[in-house]
A and B are shown apart, each in its own frame.
Chain A
């Protein structure tokens, strides 16, 4: 026996040393890759106390994961159970090397209490995995990757937990395994394994044999797992927590500003995989391919080649394929990945509507759009490669400041019969209304503008517009990757706006709202910006507008991505609808709020042909029909157009109206 223990001790020490060494080497390599990529350093994290709170809430609290209920609870069980058994495994490791080692002798009370809890939590891992297995082998959701990787991990982890219980059971029945500690009544679950496997009836010699068998299986599996993790999707065990810690603390987000004035720059955007920054790389490490992003993605849902999950996975694969070159400093040998690396095609990056459903749902806060937009920038700025329809759109925005190419000196024509002064004529206006291109030139959207103008007049708002001095806000150009054009448009507007020092800026377009509020500050334009959904609600609350009492019927509300997911404005339009429709809140569609489904127009998709898969707006139109609503309200001119077209395609007569149009009807009703 002593000989065996000595051999075991030597083996154990050797194996542990080797496996931890391998694990450490792999980890160091991953870390060195992060340090070796060429992307501009996004800076050190700020607001550390808030971030620590995030760790507690999102990681330890598992709140993000549980946004998907059943898989979320299963993950919570696995997470805590797996954490709980770690000290136990550590003790066993040490005991394998130093046979005399025992924590139980030192703190028997704490030790027993810990084991009691770990025993229960450990078992719950198996419950969690039972659900995971059921999901993988019976439900088989389309968005899950059914690879060997995941099955391996389930197998590894189940083996670890099962042997954990069997080792515990042996420790109860075998004095050899107990090692001088009394384990009776410490293990509520493992205790049941004794009777289940009839361990009490096994001869003491065989008990020792079984204990040693379970011990070795347990240890070898853990060591194997340790070596396996860094190369598998289970890298998320290590990368998820730091990635969540570093997540953007605000929902509102601006596209990174590219320094196009930098004369030293040899390239713009993301063309080669070594141009990622360390945070991007950590994002890629953190992905565990849970597929929630894919489940939410409008492109994937309508049969386009883009899946955010596959996109991240393919970028990660490309990174690992080129990692040796990155580490060796042979960056110049790396080729641009688009249309060269597996899965990363032009169709993938141009299918994205930038709706941010993927980023919003990601339990580990991967910022998919950081990759997407930068890849588009590279295509446009370096390769001049983009969907051909965008050519005219770009030229139009460049020359006339709107995507359709209407003469820029007709921008204010929509309101020539209305009494709305320009800011030059009314420099003291309380509200500067930034109308936006669609709302100035598109006849359908002009109806919304006119309704809003009517409401402002009725409320007695002291308002002015920029008139022909206004230029498109730059959303389309920026999201289409034409950073140069976007910056030119933004700078022109910032100069105009800074010149007239607006007290508050109102806009009825969520894309414009997002630009003014979140992206103009990058260019020295910081303003108090309000979207018309919020502003009209204010006017009602201040009794400056009094809606009529007519029943408008069953209204459903379609969330604009740039109002909702990009800026967190979900409630204002809903309150507004309830406030004008006899207090009835809108009828909600299946996909709503932060899980709302895009209309298909975001990310400059409004100006591209939708040649792949089925139409996103038709998909949404069908959902509107299924909601049983008589009318669909929106708060974005692009959404209105897309939904209207989609409903026409479905031969539905459900009307699409902007909240301003609805309110204008109701207010006019009141004053009849």
Chain B
């Protein structure tokens, strides 16, 4: 029976959530050999055995830390592929996965396809989605082994418990000094990102000035919320463009969206329509936003927001 290799992507000693799906994809082609780059195969083997990984290989290269040396990691994967005779190497098409799989493919001089939604080991083909799923391309992978990145959530993890043995493979890496990762800084540190926020409180033109946004800041602090703004408020110079929610600003998806003095134009609504709960505060009872909100407060935001902040403070 042929063997299929899987790059076990981990971060902070945890297996990435999309990995089991990739294992399920690999299991369609034969026994699954997992490749671990952080040396913790023993820690992971029970977890991965539950999904059908039969061999879990610690790839090591002396003192080298693979997470800081992507070129070396690619070469190590290639060595693993050769040593265990796998006919295909799969991984998650994540930023890290795409990087390492591509490097491994180069080292192996093997065909590569990323962001695949299906793989057929009998025919040596993969499928990719184009134009938001309107067209599906089937690519033939000529040569063995081939390398393939699987789009997250394309395969359901399979319940295929089996015995998993951990192994070590020491590899020799040569000429991999071109790229060295010296530091990793999280993007947008300090400022919370609107697109990832669970709660957003936004102000519109009636905010009247940049200073008045401090009342939203105060409320946001109590709610662990991020402050947003409408285009009109941004245009008027009350808020930075990075705060703009809407068609031409940020598309947001919070659990709670509080709109203060927003009329609810289509351009704004298009940017926050997937919010779970929408609360609107507006003096105009006919403002279109009320027809789209779960809760509406007819009132002056300069009265309502401070009152809300005060009540939230009491809850602490």
CB contacts under 8 Å to B, within A374-427, are 389, 392-393, 395-396, 398-399, 403-406
**What range describes how many residues of A lie at the interface?**
20 to 34
Instruction: Select the stretch in A235-243, A273-281, A332-340, A436-444 that faces chain B.
Output: A436-444
Judge whether A262 is part of the interface by a CB distance below 8 angstroms.
Answer: no
Q: Are B247 and A641 in contact (CB under 8 A)?
A: no
Please tell me if A609 contacts chain B, counting CB pairs below 8 Å: yes
Contacting A392 at CB < 8 Å: which of B241, B251, B266?
B251
Per-residue contact bits, chain A 639-651, to B (CB 8 Å; 1 contact, 0 not)? 0010001001100
Q: How far is the CA of A111 from the CA of B266 in the complex (A)?
A: 73
**Is A615 an interface residue, CB under 8 A from the partner?**
yes
Across the interface, do A444 and B265 meet the contact criterion of CB distance under 8 Å? yes
Residue contact B132 to A641, C-beta cutoff 8 Å: no
Do A615 and B235 form a contact, CB below 8 Å, given A438-B266, A442-B266? yes
Compute how far the CA of A608 lies from the CA of B267 in the bound complex, rounded to whole angstroms: 11
A603 and B232 alpha carbons, distance in the complex (Å): 21
- CB proximity of A661 to chain B, nearest CB, Å: 15
Determine the chain A residues whose CB is within 8 A of the CB of B267 once the complex forms.
Answer: 404
Q: Contact flags (1/0) for B192-224 with A, using CB distance below 8 Å?
A: 000000000000010000000000000000000
B238 to chain A, nearest CB (A): 13
* Contact A444-B266, Cβ < 8 Å, known A389-B247, A607-B248: yes
Does the CB pair B270–A608 fall under 8 Å?
Answer: no
- B262-281 CB contacts (< 8 Å) to partner A: 264-267, 269-270, 273
A649 and B235: CB pair below 8 A? Answer: yes
**B2 beta carbon closer than 8 Å to chain A:** no
B132 CB contact (under 8 Å) in A395, A444, A645, A648:
A395
**Interface residues of chain A: helix, strand, loop or mixed (majority):** helix
Asked whether B247 lies within 8 Å of A393 as measured between CB atoms, the reply is yes
Query: Do the beta carbons of B247 and A607 come within 8 Å of each other?
Result: yes
Q: In the complex, are the beta carbons of B235 and A443 less than 8 A apart? A: no
- Does B134 belong to the interface (CB within 8 Å)? yes
**Number of residues on chain B facing chain A (CB within 8 A):** 20
Contacts of A649 in B (CB 8 A): 232, 235-236
- Tell me, rounded to whole Å, the shortest Cβ–Cβ distance linking B278 to chain A: 14
B247 contacts A404, CB within 8 Å?
Answer: yes
Closest to B289 in A: A443
CB <8 Å contact, B269 and A404: yes
The winner among A398, A406, A609, A648 for most chain B CB atoms within 10 A is A609
Establish whether residues A399 and B247, one from each chain, have CB atoms under 8 Å apart when the complex forms.
Answer: no
A641 touches B270 (CB 8 A): no
Q: Which residues of A contact B235 (CB under 8 A)?
A: 615, 649
Contacts of A445 in B (CB 8 A): 266
B288 to A, closest residue via Cβ: A443
Q: Judging by beta carbons under 8 Å apart, are B205 and A648 in contact?
A: yes
Of chain A, the residue at the smallest CB distance from B291 is: A443
Q: State how many angstroms separate the Cβ of A331 from the closest Cβ of chain B.
A: 30
Footprint of B on A, CB under 8 Å?
A: 389, 392-393, 395-396, 398-399, 403-406, 438, 441-445, 488, 607-609, 615, 641, 645, 648-649
New A-B pairs, 6, CB < 8 Å, besides A398-B132, A443-B291, A648-B232: A438-B266, A442-B265, A443-B264, A641-B265, A641-B266, A645-B232
12 of the cross-chain contacts (CB-CB < 8 Å) are: A389-B247, A393-B247, A403-B247, A404-B267, A442-B266, A444-B266, A607-B247, A641-B266, A648-B205, A648-B232, A649-B232, A649-B236
